[in-house]
Structure 1
Amino acid sequence: MTTIEPLRWVKSSYSDNGGTCVEWAPAYASATGVVPVRDSKSPAGPALMVSADAFAGLVALARSTQL
């Protein structure tokens, strides 16, 4: 298991204000090309580690989805 603390986590601008929040750590991503993503309600919990390409795909999907 890779420890990714202490990193500066940034809340997604696509997260709503109802407690459903996704965070990512841009400094880690810039340094490694791997993007850690976590649930902001569980900061001590696991982080999903995805490639930069996969993360870009997730962002594109979030931008294109109409709720």
Structure 2
Amino acid sequence: MTSGTAELFWFKSSYSGSQGDDCVEIAIAERAVHVRDSKDVARPAFAVGHEGWGRFVRFASER
């Protein structure tokens, strides 16, 4: 699910700093959430289904 990511709207979390530190960007599409390294956008992104993304966010927010 990494093809066709150029037309996606990518954004970083509001918790990300403006210093260009280690961050990821996400793009929410109809069938998946795409994730990429914000410092190296030429590298391939990966995608995860909405259900899997929701489980990850719930897990991370509990920490």
TM-score (norm 1): 0.72
Q: CA deviation at 1:60?
A: 1.0
Of 50, 53, 57 in structure 2, the residue corresponding to residue 52 of structure 1 is 50
Q: Give the match for residue 34 of structure 2.
A: 36
Of 15, 25, 28 in structure 1, the residue corresponding to residue 27 of structure 2 is 25
The structure where helix makes up a greater share of residues is 1
Mind listing any 5+ residue stretches in structure 2 that lack a counterpart? Answer: none
Looking at both structures, which has the greater relative contact order when contacts are Cα pairs under 8 Å and sequence separation is at least 6? Answer: 2
**Of 42-51 and 3-12, the range deviating more from structure 2:** 3-12
Aligned residues: 60
Percent identity of equivalent pairs: 40
8 Å CA contact 1:35, 1:55 repeated in 2: yes
Residue deviations 1:1-27, cap 9 Å, x none? 512103210102454x3612111112x
The CA RMSD over aligned residues, in Å, is 1.7
Q: CA deviation at 1:46?
A: 1.1
